[in-house]
Chains A and B, each alone.
Chain A
Amino acid sequence: MSRAEQALADLEATRRGFTAERVRFWIICAVVLAFYAVSWDLAGVDLHKLATGLPKLGHWLASAWPPKLDEVPLFALRIAETVAMAAIGTTLATLLAIPMAIVASRNITPLPGLYFPARWFLNALRGIDSFVFALLFVAAVGLGPFAGVLGIALHTWGSAAKLFADHVENANLGPFEAVRTTGAGRFTAIAYALVPDILPVMLSTTLFWWEFNIRASTVLGVVGAGGIGQELKNSMDLLDFPRLFTIIAMILIVVTLLDQLSSWLRKRLIRP
Chain B
Amino acid sequence: MIDAVGLTKAFNGRAAIEEVSFAVREGEFVAVLGPSGAGKTTLFRCMTGLAVPDRGTVRIGDDDIAALRGRARRRVAVVFQQFNLVSRLSAFENVLAGRLGHVPAWRGWLRRFERADRLLALECLDRVGLLGQAMQRADTLSGGQQQRVAIARAMAQRPSLIVADEPVASLDPAAGAGVLELLQGIARADRVGVVCSLHQVQLARAYADRIVGLSRGRVVIDAPVQRFDQPAFERLYGATASLSTH
Q: Is the CB of B119 within 8 A of A11?
A: no
- Asked if A257 lies at the interface with its beta carbon under 8 angstroms from chain B, I say no
Question: Bound state CA distance, A4 and B125, in angstroms?
Answer: 8
- Complex interface bits, B100-135 against A, C-beta within 8 A gives 1, otherwise 0: 000000000000000100110011011000010011
- Complex interface bits, A1-24 against B, C-beta within 8 A gives 1, otherwise 0: 011110110010000000000000
Do most interface residues of chain B lie in helix, strand or loop, or is the interface mixed? helix
Q: Is the CB of A8 within 8 A of B115?
A: yes
Question: Closest CB-CB distance, A14 to chain B, in whole Å?
Answer: 9
Give the interface size bracket for A toward B.
under 10
Question: Bound state CA distance, A3 and B134, in angstroms?
Answer: 12
Collect the chain B residues with CB atoms within 8 Å of residue A4's CB.
Answer: 119, 122-123, 125-126, 131
**Residues of B118-154 contacting chain A, CB below 8 A:** 118-119, 122-123, 125-126, 131, 134-135
Question: Closest CB-CB distance, A148 to chain B, in whole Å?
Answer: 44
Question: Closest CB-CB distance, A4 to chain B, in whole Å?
Answer: 4
Question: Bound state CA distance, A50 and B23, in angstroms?
Answer: 66
Question: Bound state CA distance, A4 and B130, in angstroms?
Answer: 11
Q: Is the CB of A3 within 8 A of B126?
A: yes
Collect the chain A residues with CB atoms within 8 Å of residue B125's CB.
Answer: 4
Question: Closest CB-CB distance, B68 to chain A, in whole Å?
Answer: 30
Q: Is the CB of B135 within 8 A of A8?
A: no
Question: Bound state CA distance, A182 and B135, in angstroms?
Answer: 50
Q: Is the CB of A2 within 8 A of B123?
A: yes
Collect the chain A residues with CB atoms within 8 Å of residue B134's CB.
Answer: 7, 11
Question: Bound state CA distance, A5 and B135, in angstroms?
Answer: 15
* A2 closest partner in B (C-beta): B123
Most buried by A among B115, B119, B125: B119
A-B contact pairs, 8 of them (CB 8 A): A3-B131, A4-B122, A4-B131, A5-B119, A5-B122, A7-B131, A8-B119, A11-B118
7 shortest interchain CB distances as A-B pairs: A4-B122, A4-B123, A4-B126, A7-B122, A3-B126, A8-B119, A8-B122
* 19 additional contacts (CB under 8 A) given A3-B126, A7-B122, A11-B134: A2-B123, A2-B126, A3-B131, A4-B119, A4-B122, A4-B123, A4-B125, A4-B126, A4-B131, A5-B119, A5-B122, A7-B126, A7-B131, A7-B134, A8-B115, A8-B118, A8-B119, A8-B122, A11-B118
B binding-site residues for A, Cβ under 8 Å: 115, 118-119, 122-123, 125-126, 131, 134-135
